[in-house]
Amino acid sequence: MIAVIQAFEAGKTIQYAYKSPLTGRSIHTWQDIYHPCWNFDEFNYRVKTEPESVYALRFADGSDKKLFLSRLEATNFKTQMAESSVVVEFKEVIDE
């Protein structure tokens, strides 16, 4: 509970779902909430999952090589290479 409230205060997006009175599990899909009432008896709350990204170098032949966890890492590595390439971002798709 406290972690979700702290995340909200830090500017993170919070989501809520109705709570089953029998199991306590979420029984509906998660929805964004911008002004939570913090009713922990009737709702479950969570910090919205943010998609993650990885970066790769794409070469003239269309191939993607070497994965990086940040655009900066990929850009720095690219500047050390003689071969021409571009930095490409791959973003995770989250199905809810």
Residue 59 and residue 83 in contact, taking contact as beta carbons nearer than 8 Å: yes
pLDDT of amino acid 96: 59
Per-residue pLDDT of the chain (96 residues; tens, 9 = 90+): 899 999 999 999 999 999 998 888 888 889 999 999 999 999 999 999 888 999 999 988 889 888 999 999 999 998 888 778 999 999 988 765
pLDDT of amino acid 56: 93
- 16 occurs within a structural domain: yes
9 & 26 share domain: yes
Which of 42, 43, 25, 32 has the alpha carbon at shortest distance from 8?
A: 32
Cα separation, 40 vs 78, in Å, equals 49
pLDDT of amino acid 19: 92
68 & 39 share domain: no
41 & 61 share domain: no
Domain count, the chain: 2
Containing structural domain, residue 85 = 53-91
